[in-house]
């Protein structure tokens, strides 16, 4: 079994050696451990430091694309290198390298597809009271929407099986953490968490500029991910709400009309009618969105099959005695994927 530990980096040349030194060299049930650095457009020598420290795989972005894109690039690289398990951790030393054994264990044992490192946000000494409150509130929302039991939804310290990594398609440009959990929960993947140790932050976060900005971006990510997988429920719910609101002024008009005073309240009828029309239109949008979501599921299933076909082609060298595959065929498979 092959484990690849990926670390997204942005100007981490100074702290990266210490982080790499703490990574495990062997783990129970794992035959091979390799490291992958994703240099997300660093202006320092992050890539050079990684190579000098013997990192097996270095992926470099010419410009800064953001954490979600760095995570995607890392997953693609790890899968192409044959990883059976992928661990994602931070470069700034927030997580204890020795705890990788904890989050890998459930995946190695086949008990979980994804294991999250739980930082115990409710009583973490490195978090202030306001941050603890936000973390707990955000985790509750994600836990509810994803139908999972994860108590630390935004922890980036996680182990992912090969099958889960192939099934997850990150759609956000901000942070992959909540998007990934909602997808995994709705796709019925097995998710668990284990308590892990954390260290005090050595620098301000490079993911977001301020707490309000983080709340805004995370809220948009959660809403988009939930709507993607529950389009019918969201749009029909909004349509039903508009319909109920529309019935209220109509009922008001009918009351006055029944009492012979309908002429002065025609505006209630107009407003109610408009809301009823909006409710119907939004509900129809929900049906269309649900059809699109169904097509998305079919496309994702086909992408998964094509990825596995491409992997088999790569491992076989593109040809065998009984089944020869031309270069043109391989390119066609990649284009379809």
Q: What is the pLDDT of residue 319?
A: 37
Do residue 216 and residue 244 come from a single domain? no
The Cα-based distances of 85 to 72, 108, 293 in angstroms read: 15, 8, 29
Q: Does one domain contain both 54 and 174?
A: yes
Each residue's pLDDT tens digit, 232-260: 888 889 999 999 999 998 898 888 888 87
119 and 187 in a single domain? The answer is yes
CATH number, domain with residue 69? 3.90.550.10
Specify the number of domains making up the chain: 2
pLDDT band at 316 (very low <50, low <70, confident <90, very high): low
50/38 Cα distance (integer angstroms): 10
Which residue in 78, 79, 102 sits closest to 28, CA to CA? 102
Question: Which residue segment(s) compose the domain that 222 sits in?
Answer: 2-228
Residues 224 and 247 in one domain: no
> Edge-to-edge strand order for the sheet containing 158-161?
57-61, 32-40, 2-9, 85-88, 158-161, 114-118, 191-195
Q: What's the sign of the alpha-carbon dihedral 309, 312, 317, 322?
A: negative
Boundary-marking domain end, from 228, 245, 267 = 228
Where among 180, 207, 228 does a domain terminate? 228
Of the three residues 184, 200, 228, the one that is the final residue of a domain is 228
318 contacts 327 by C-beta, under 8 angstroms = yes
Which H helix or E strand runs over 88?
Answer: strand 85-88
If asked whether residues 69 and 210 sit together in one domain, one would say yes
Instruction: Please indicate whether residue 320 or residue 314 has the higher confidence score (pLDDT).
Output: 314
Question: Token pair for residue 328?
Answer: 């043109």
Higher pLDDT, 311 or 3: 3
Give residues with Cβ within 8 angstroms of 2, minimum separation 6.
30, 31, 32, 33, 34, 81, 82, 83, 84, 85
| Same domain assignment for residues 217 and 238 | no
Q: How is 195-255 classified by DSSP, letter by letter?
A: E--B---SS--SS-SSHHHHHHHHHHHHHHHHHHH-HHHHHHHHHHHHHHHHHHHHHHHHH
For the chain, first and last CA: distance in Å?
A: 26
What is the rounded distance in angstroms from the CA atom of residue 296 to the CA atom of residue 300? 6
Identify whether residues 136 and 176 lie together within a single domain.
Answer: yes
pTM of the predicted structure, to 2 decimals? 0.73
pLDDT confidence of residue 226:
80
> What's the mean per-residue pLDDT of the chain?
82
Q: What are phi and psi of 211, to 5 degrees?
A: -60, -45
Same domain, residue pair 241 and 165: no
pLDDT (tens digit, 9 = 90+) per residue, 250-306?
898 888 888 877 677 788 888 989 999 999 999 899 888 888 877 877 777 777 777
Residue 211 has pLDDT above 70, yes or no: no
Residues 169 and 292 in one domain: no
* Same domain membership, residue 157 and residue 54: yes
Say whether both 208 and 258 belong to one domain.
no
H helices of the chain, in order, are: 16-21, 46-52, 67-80, 100-108, 129-146, 162-167, 176-186, 211-229, 231-258, 266-316, 327-336
Residues 250 and 219 in one domain: no
The percentage of the chain sitting over the pLDDT mark of 90, rounded to a whole number, equals 36
């Amino acid at each position: 079994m092959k484990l690849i530990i990926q670390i997204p980096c942005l100007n981490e040349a100074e702290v990266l050696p210490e982080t790499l030194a703490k990574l495990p060299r062997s783990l129970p049930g794992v035959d091979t451990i390799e490291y992958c650095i994703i240099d997300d457009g660093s202006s320092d020598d992050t890539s050079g430091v990684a190579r000098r420290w013997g990192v097996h795989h270095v992926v470099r972005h010419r410009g800064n694309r953001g954490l979600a894109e760095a995570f995607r690039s890392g997953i693609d690289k790890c899968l192409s290198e044959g990883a059976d398990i992928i661990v994602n951790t931070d470069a700034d030393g927030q997580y204890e390298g020795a705890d990788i054994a904890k989050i890998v264990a459930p995946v190695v044992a086949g008990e979980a597809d994804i294991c999250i490192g739980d930082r115990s946000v409710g009583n973490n000494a490195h978090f202030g009271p306001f941050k603890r409150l936000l973390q707990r509130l955000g985790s509750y929302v994600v836990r509810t929407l994803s139908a999972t039991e994860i108590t630390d939804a935004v922890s980036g310290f996680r182990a992912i099986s090969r099958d889960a990594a192939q099934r997850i398609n990150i759609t956000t440009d901000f942070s992959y953490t909540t998007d990934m959990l909602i997808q995994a929960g709705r796709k019925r993947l097995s998710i668990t968490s284990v308590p892990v140790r954390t260290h005090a932050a050595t620098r301000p976060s490079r993911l977001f500029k301020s707490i309000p900005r983080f709340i805004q971006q995370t809220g948009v990510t959660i809403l988009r991910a939930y709507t993607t997988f529950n389009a019918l429920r969201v749009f029909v719910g909004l349509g039903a709400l508009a319909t109920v609101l529309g019935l209220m002024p109509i009922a008001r008009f009918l009351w006055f009309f029944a009492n012979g005073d309908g002429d002065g309240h025609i505006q209630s009828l107009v407003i109610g009618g408009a809301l009823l029309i909006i409710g119907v239109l939004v509900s129809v949008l929900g049906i269309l969105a649900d059809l699109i979501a169904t097509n998305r599921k079919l496309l994702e299933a086909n992408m998964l099959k094509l990825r596995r076909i491409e992997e088999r082609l790569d491992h076989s060298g593109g040809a065998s005695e009984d089944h020869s595959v031309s270069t043109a065929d391989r390119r066609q498979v990649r284009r379809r994927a």
